Structure 1
Amino acid sequence: MKRIRAGTGAAAGPAAGANGTLGGEADASAVVLNSYTEWEPLREVVVGSLSGGVFPGWQESMAYTVPEAAWRLCREEGGLPLPAAHLKAAEEELDTLADVLEAEGVTVVRPDTVSHQRPFRTPHWASAGGLYAGMPRDALLVVGDIVIEAPMSWRCRYHEADAFRTLIKSWFRRGARWMPAPRPQLTEELYRTPGGAESPAAERWAVTEFEPVFDAADFLRFGEDVVVQRSHVTNEFGIAWVRRALGAEFTVSVVETDDPHAMHIDATFAPLAPGKLLVNPERYVPHRLFEGWDILPAPGPTLPPDWPMYFCSPWVSMNVLSLNPETIVVERQERPLIDALTAWGFRCIPVDFRHVYSFGGSFHCVTLDTVRDGGPAKYLAS
């Protein structure tokens, strides 16, 4: 399969005319976006790029999700390049993942190359730079034939979707629905010092209800159902916006997790096939939605304790990518997880990915599945 960079090739679709109109009519027969679950056979996927990535400019709300060992780096080096040798190794792992997916018959598209070192500002605040285009799952949510741009609460990520805009415009021109969430102000009214576990639920998180914010990676697709967690980057206002934007076609349900550092649900839940759910045993809280599902607690991560982890915990080990209900991409050195999944009936494709781990995610985070087989079936209990 031919790998396509945004803005080139078939994925770019018809060009806009000089007067801003679409350069052609949408092709009703072509499948542009169709992704209702995390496990149906994968046909097309975006794989992110860490090229040119920089440390995020510090804001206090990061303290509740970023490992404490990385606080100084973010405070002192926000907007400066990520470690070159480690970043190069991570980019090579991403390229290898793209090769593996293509070998499995999946069309791979990549984001535009953009500069993340440029500082920017709004009337209310300034950022020393961006972050990267490595985690499309954070910035974009695909549900059926809809792509939603997430209003993320980290100020450094304000323009992160720009690297994917060529792709988004192409999808829209070819018939997909494009729903950018309201662009947030990200003023101080949005942030708070969260209370502890004894606090009311609404006060446990670093973001208030000042305006809708969410990271797309706090949502998972189960056909007609979309499951979301409240977190330090996703508030009730944001969840309500997604619920209303998707309309009556989908049910959006909030699930509880036992994670005081919650940021992104895909290191707590990983639906791998109808009725099969991989869970983080330290964070999973049983929910009626999963009645009748087989639950597999993920073995602990095997990452060495001195491995650099700038933005997340080693539990990205369970952040796997399903290619179909029988096949999963797993980090090569997570042997206990591979053994557990194999015993559960899956074919595991091992890929080295520890250098990518360091920058905040794994296979699910760095991809955005745009075309899968299947439709809006019912998989969860009512």
Structure 2
Amino acid sequence: MPQSTSVPPPALNSFDEFTRLQEVVLGRADHYNAHHTEPSWRLFFYDNVAPVLGRHTAPSGEELLPIPSQLTDELNEDIYGLADALTGCGVNVLRPAVPGKDVDIRSPHWDARATPPLNVRDQTIILGNTIVETAPHIRARIFENDLLKPAFYRYYEAGANWLSMPRPALASDSLDTSYFTRQSLDVSRATDGETAGSIEGLGLEMVFDGAQCMRLGRDVLVNVANHNHELALRWLRDNVCNLRFHRLDAMADNHIDSVLVPLRPGLMLLRSPEYLKYLPEAMQSWDVIYAPETDDSNFPDYTDLGFVIPIGSRYMDINLLSVDEDTVVVNSLYPELITVLERRGFTVVPVRHRHRRLFGGGFHCFTLDTVRRGGPEDYLS
């Protein structure tokens, strides 16, 4: 498996999603044997898990929903395949530290089963030569970035800047449910049974994931769906002054990298035409590839494995990773997209990824691109 070497690291430099990729952190799924289905998890994945919340969240009513070891093993096989494909494209692949087994974490306000550092895009944004650690939505992920710190210190010692959003307490009432209530959705199935303590006078906190952003040189698109996100956008504007942050008004409930993928300047992959209206005016004239429909047979059937919740949407395979402006890594189980991209002149590197809905991440989610060739170009003027 590719690992960091004693060669001096390149300078942190990642301004966009599509210029030549030189170095990347690829997540780990070691010991990913359960989802902790407590209220912050249920709210975050509400769109996808709501249909089953009315029945139960886990066997026997427990909050820990076991994941069969067979599925984790197959996920690890697919991640190894992704690492090999990236190495074959000339990309240096770094990995987080190996997580401990069954790590339970505790704050003064709640307990949780820690999530391994698989979807490393979520808790960090790389903005040029700056590492920005974000403020997790899900309690189980609060210490996840500790396992990325070996890589972060590597870049810091080579001259990178390193910032962190204020760590959220994630006490009761910290999370804003207004995205759902504006749609007249009842989220009580997610919030019922909350056992976390409260902090007098705290209210809604800054809560935000890196995957709510898309980077375009000197411009960053930021999805803002509630007050938690509004606070984070203000923090980004106050603390990263050399970039322009564009507010996308509730394009999704949180992450947007299974909705929008800039493929190169002037060309993007978009889930459907209804999302154009959320984009900056300058992007609305870009050429668009709309994600083709896929057959449900491309997704695993978990019927014989007991109670398994698919937490990611069926659009997860839009979540591709660009190696450069002409080369993309795409799930081999989405042949419809591969065909469309090849017709548009892209070199497609197909890599198998079976359980993307179960683990809630695609190739963009699993990776944190730390070194790309591009700089702070202006793609929107």
Task: Report the TM-score when normalising by structure 1.
Answer: 0.84
Residues 234, 273 of structure 1: alpha-carbon distance in 2 compared, 3 angstrom cutoff: farther
* Distance of 1:116 and 1:80 partners within structure 2: 16
Tell me which moved more, 152-161 or 283-292. Answer: 283-292
Report the CA distance between 1:355 and its aligned residue.
2.3
Change (3 A) 1:33 1:141: same
TM-score (norm 2): 0.84
Moved more, 343-352 or 86-95: 343-352
Point out the more displaced range, 333-342 or 86-95: 333-342
Question: CA–CA distance in 2 between the matches of 1:353 and 1:63?
Answer: 20
Instruction: Say if 2:89 is the partner of 1:93.
Output: no
Cα distance in 2, alignment partners of residues 139 and 191 from structure 1:
17
Provide the residue aligned with 1:281 in structure 2: 272
Which residue does 1:364 correspond to in 2? 364
Shift of 1:81: 5.1
Aligned AA (1:273):
R
**Per the alignment, in what secondary structure is the counterpart of residue 121 of structure 2?**
helix
SS state at 2:349 partner: strand
Q: Is the 8 A contact 1:317 1:362 kept in 2?
A: yes
Alpha-carbon offset, residue 165 of structure 1: 1.2
> Sequence identity of aligned pairs in percent?
30
2:58 matches 1:64: no
1:143 lines up with 2:98 in the alignment? no
Task: State the match for 2:263 in structure 1.
Answer: 272
SS of 2:224's equivalent in the other structure is coil
Q: Which residue of 2 aligns with 1:112?
A: 97
The superposition leaves residues 191-222 of structure 1 with CA deviations (integer Å, 9 ceiling, x where unpaired) of 244354467xxxxxx9x972211011101100
C-alpha deviation, 1:312, in angstroms:
1.1
Of 17, 21, 34, the residue aligned with 1:42 is 21
2:316 maps to a residue whose letter is V
Partners of 1:339 and 1:292 in 2: how far apart?
A: 24
Residue correspondence of structure 1 range 124-139 to structure 2 within 5 A: 124-127=109-112, 129-139=113-123
Contact kept in structure 2, 1:50 and 1:132, CA below 8 Å = yes
Paired residue for 1:252, among 239, 245, 253? 245
- Structure 1 pair 100/306, CA: closer, same or farther in 2 (3 Å)? closer
Secondary structure in 1 aligned to 2:350?
A: strand
Closer/same/farther in 2, CA of residues 363 and 110 from structure 1, 3 Å limit: same
The equivalent of 1:24 in structure 2 is none
Counterpart Cα distance in 1 of 2:268 and 2:109: 43
**Which consecutive residues of structure 1, in runs of 5 or more, have no partner in the other structure?**
14-29, 200-205
**Which residue number corresponds to residue 6 of structure 2?**
10
**1:279–1:295 CA contact under 8 A, matched in 2:** yes
User: What CA deviation, in whole Å up to 9, does each residue of 1:321-379 have, x standing for no partner?
Assistant: 00000000111121111111112221111111122442011110001101010210000
Q: Helix, strand or coil: the match of 1:314?
A: coil
- Please state how far the C-alpha of 1:64 moved relative to its aligned partner: 2.3
Instruction: Describe the shift of the 1:346–1:180 C-alpha distance in structure 2 as closer, same or farther (beyond 3 A).
Output: same
Separation in 1, partners of 2:259, 2:90: 28
Aligned match of 2:374:
374
Q: For the structure 1 residues 192 and 271, does the alpha-carbon distance in structure 2 shift closer, same or farther, using more than 3 Å as the test?
A: closer
Relative to structure 1, is the Cα distance of residues 236 and 257 closer, same or farther in structure 2, using a 3 angstrom cutoff? closer
Equivalent pairs counted in the alignment come to 349
Does the CA contact (< 8 Å) of 2:222 and 2:248 recur in 1?
yes
* Shift in Å, 1:67: 2.3
| Residue aligning to 2:156 | 172
Structure 2 SS opposite 1:227: strand
Contact 2:176 2:228 in 1 (8 A): no
1:301 aligns with 2:294: yes
- The 5 A counterparts of 1:193-208 are 193-194=177-178, 195-197=180-182
Contact 1:98 1:108 survives alignment (8 Å): yes
Q: Which runs of 5+ in 2 are unaligned?
A: 185-190, 192-201, 303-308
